[in-house]
Amino acid sequence: MATKDAPVNDPMLDPITGEQRVLAPGHTFKSVTEKIAGIVLTPHTPLDWFAGFVLAGGFVGMLLVAVTWLFLKGVGIWAITIPIAWGFAIINFVWWIGIGHAGTLISAILLLFKQQWRNSINRFAEAMTIFAVVCAGMFPLIHVGRPWLGYWLFPYPNSMNVWPQFRSPLLWDVFAVSTYATISVVFWYIGMVPDLGTLRDRSKSKVGQYIYGLAALGWRGSVRHWVRYETASLLLAGLATPLVLSVHTVISFDFAVALLPGWHTTIFPPYFVAGAVYSGFAMVITLAVPIRKFYHLEDLITIRHLDNMAKVMLTTGLIVAYGYAMEVFMSYWYSASHWEYFMMWNRMFGPMGWAYWVLITCNIALPQFMWFRYVRRSVPLMFLMSLIVNTGMWFERFVIVVTSLYRDYLPSSWGTYRATKWDYATFAGTLGLFTFLFFLFVRFLPMIPMSEIRMMLPQAKVRAEAEPLPEAGD
Amino acid sequence: MPVIEGTYGLLAEFDTPTQLVRAAEGAYAAGYRRMDCYTPYPVEEAAAAIGFHKDEVSLVCLIGGLLGVAAMFGLETWISVWAYPLNIAGRPYYSWPAFVVPAYEWTILFAGLSAAFGMLALNGLPQPYHPLFNAPNFRNGATSDKFFLCLEATDPKFELGDSRAFLERLAPLSIVEVEY
């Protein structure tokens, strides 16, 4: 078992089961609170934080320039053209939304399944969701060409007397993504209220007390409040679960409802959802590894977390692989359609075939190394793995969008796609925006839910026998 | 609003959740009803000990969800059939299967917002001021590592001397008289 080659007295191993612990032993209510609240309340912001913040801010500046230029000149500055009218904007939209899904999965689905290991990572995974949705939501908006008329997407009484058309998946998307953004923010904030109360009570500065005090809404930890709070959390989790499944399903409808070889398949909804979770867990690892190192959170975000997340990635990766295999099967044999056959041949061996093989390498071939426990428990290797999967998932969307569009039924209308510097600047800019928001989050908000970590400590249980009482830190 | 003065209640501080639950059970058995426990994380046993079993958050959530689905489905039907009928590839104006998706999203949206804001409303939050925040040890511990039981002065059984003596028998770390 796991204990075989581990040092005999490794404190991170459970002596009974030989499993890696979720939390390092020896923590008390106080030590957990101090560790997590201390990161936020310290008057000494680490210099590295400023360095990262400024760097990310630079990319945000680039995003602002790219979007300003876009608004001045129009979408012609991007590479989108006929036949490829959906370029980077839609690829990035789907990629970002997918990344957000792991946050909801961790906070909602794993809560319903009573997976307590999620507690350490759920807050920042939810933050990741929100920031990813911010980045994602921007793309369709700036892609419509006249973003100042974006509100036409919503049904509202207007002097033009027109209303939206509810049979279109593109409109369903508006409701799916706006609901997703709203519920994610509410779930995140409600989950944070007790911790904001802790920050209010522990903050030494007047400004901190005032701001955290406002945000904490007067939370005082009454058990009556806790009971209602727990019910609301469970209900929100129960609602977010079908929501997260529906969001990527609706996004896949944007493609699947179109009568286009490469898009028009029924396998899209499940395989989009699995892909979303796959890339989202990869992003959680990409964020968790530097954070636990930088803020010394190895006690709270442990090897067990990496191991478990690797297993989820392995599973969803196999579902995605099944999706790819089924696509090939349907196009080459089952459809008996000449157009489908050509699309798949062109996707694999056409001028942009390299993208397909990048996708297969990053999403299917290399992640199989996660079958090895050594890889799952190695921090640098898992970090590398998460970058590979994120790259692979971006290429998946590239392949779906571009290689389905650029050679359609009529050879005379074939085209090609070569992204412009503005495409790259916008994409890199959203990566910067995401990182920028994340830097703000880790500095000013508790990135690990203190109340939930306290609940996981052994001394949190109410004993049936009043005596003997455990010592604190038992 | 008239200024309330006097004693809000007696606040007993404990070190562990088990001690708190025993104390709360004792107080309930002694006939106290207007009291509350304060913990840094949810302790369901303490809520049960003071006789709080049922909350209405689920009901609020259900009502919100039903409103959401009705609102969106009604809106879609009204728009597509009466307000702005469009012929989309010959499909019926009342294409209900297509309407399910936004109606589903709004069910979740309304239910989720109702659960969250309903919970806050039932809890009487936001409430920036509360007399308990006047107790120096409360702010130090209730949101980090200590467990509190507060017997409130509005309880008919509450009498400052007797109640203090009662709490002392429960061996708390401290007892503080909380002023309004």
Contacts of B116 in chain A (CB under 8 A): 186-187, 190, 232, 236
Please, which pLDDT band fits residue A409 given cuts at 50, 70 and 90?
confident
pLDDT in tens, A162-176: 999 999 898 999 999
Res A473 pLDDT > 70: no
Structure tokens at A124: 């920042």
Q: Residues A126, A187: contact at Cβ < 8 Å?
A: yes
Domain locations in chain B as residue ranges: 7-53+131-179, 57-122
The pLDDT value recorded for residue A5 is 53
Scanning B76-115 for CB atoms below 8 A from A yields 76, 79-80, 83-84, 86, 88, 91, 95, 98-99, 101-102, 104-106, 108-109, 111-113, 115
B139, A201: Cβ pair inside 8 Å? yes
Q: Is the pLDDT of residue B3 over 80?
A: no
User: Percent of chain B scored above 70 by pLDDT?
Assistant: 98
Look at residue B22 in the predicted model and tell me its pLDDT: 87
pLDDT at A38: 82
pLDDT digits (tens, 9 = 90+) for A312-353: 999 999 999 999 999 999 888 888 888 889 999 999 999 999
Round the average pLDDT of chain A to a whole number and report it.
Answer: 87
Q: How far apart are CA A67 and CA A142, in angstroms?
A: 8
As a whole-number percent, the residues of chain A with pLDDT over 70 amount to: 95
According to the model, what pLDDT value does residue A7 have?
A: 52
Give the pLDDT confidence score for residue A472 in this predicted structure.
43
Higher pLDDT, B19 or A386: A386
Contact A231 B55 (CB under 8 A): yes
Bridge partner residues of B148 (DSSP): B13, B38
The pLDDT of residue A469: 47
Q: In this structure, what token pair is assigned to residue A200?
A: 């209010």
- With 70 as the cut, is the pLDDT of residue A2 above it? no
State mean pLDDT over A80-103. 89
Cβ distance B18 to A469 less than 8 Å, yes or no, reads yes
**CATH code (residue A386):** 1.20.1630.10
Residue A463 lies in a domain: no
A110 or A433, which is more confident: A433
pLDDT at B148 over 70: yes
Asked, for residue A457, whether it belongs to a domain, the answer is: no
What three-state secondary structure class fits B91?
Answer: coil
| Contact A194/B at CB under 8 A | yes
d(CA B22, CA B103): 48
Query: Which residues does A311 contact at the CB level (< 8 Å), separation at least 6?
Result: A370, A376
The three-state secondary structure class of B98 is helix
Residue A104 has pLDDT above 90, yes or no: no
Question: A378 and chain B: CB distance < 8 Å anywhere?
Answer: no
Q: Report residue B88 as tokens.
A: 């989309």
Quote the minimal CA–CA distance from A327 to chain B in Å: 25
Question: How many structural domains are present in chain A?
Answer: 1
In chain A, % helix, strand, coil (3-state, to 5) comes to: 70, 0, 30
Tokens of residue A101, six digits? 């899904």
Predicted pLDDT of residue A465:
60
Nearest to A38 by CA among A443, A387, A369, A344: A443
The pLDDT of residue B99 is above 80: yes
CA–CA separation, B109 and A179 (whole Å): 6
Structural domain for A321, as ranges: 29-449
pLDDT grade, residue A474 (50/70/90)?
Answer: very low
Please compute the mean of the pLDDT values over residues B105-124 and round it to a whole number: 93
Reply yes or no on whether the pLDDT at B84 is more than 70: yes
Instruction: Write the ipTM.
Output: 0.92
> How confident is the model over A352-375, as pLDDT tens digits?
999 999 999 999 999 999 999 999
- Tell how far CA B58 is from the center of its chain: 12
Per the CB < 8 A criterion, the answer to whether A402 and A260 are in contact is: no
From chain B, pick out residues whose CB is under 8 angstroms from the CB of A30: 144-145
Q: What is the mean pLDDT of residues A58-83?
A: 91
Share of chain A above pLDDT 90, in %: 41
